[in-house]
Amino acid sequence: MAKETIMGRPDAPYAKAVKANGFLFVSGNVARADGSVEGQTREVLERLQGLLEDLGSSFDDVVKVNVYLADISDFSAMNGVYKEFFTPEPPTRTTVEAALSSPDFLVEIDLVAAL
């Protein structure tokens, strides 16, 4: 298997992304700024969009998205922003409520794109 690892922070024990077998697997991303779930969702999706572009991909190539919400009652607010980024044919998606690594994080998103 041909694999290319795109490293993140030097002190982090995980890869930011991995290219393998025709796919790009991108680790979960959270917002750096405090704010609403809408603001955090937008920041995360903009960051993911930039990372995909840097790696020669785009949201059009995304086949699977996982969304983790600190509070599932934020689903509608997150979904409103999410729909702005994935048009006209959205990828498959799973959305779950999860205990995120900081109480400041309201949403975390990871994805898989075809290369």
The tens-digit pLDDT sequence of the chain (115 residues) is: 677 777 666 677 788 999 999 999 999 999 998 899 999 999 999 999 999 999 999 999 999 999 999 999 999 999 999 999 998 899 999 999 999 999 999 999 999 999 9
Examine residue 59 and state whether it is found in any structural domain, yes or no. yes
Q: Which range marks the domain in which residue 71 is found?
A: 30-114
Number of separate domains in the chain: 1
Examine residue 1 and state whether it is found in any structural domain, yes or no. no
> What CATH number has the domain bearing residue 110?
3.30.1330.40
SS3 25: strand
Cβ neighbours for 80, distance < 8 A, ≥ 6 positions apart: 38
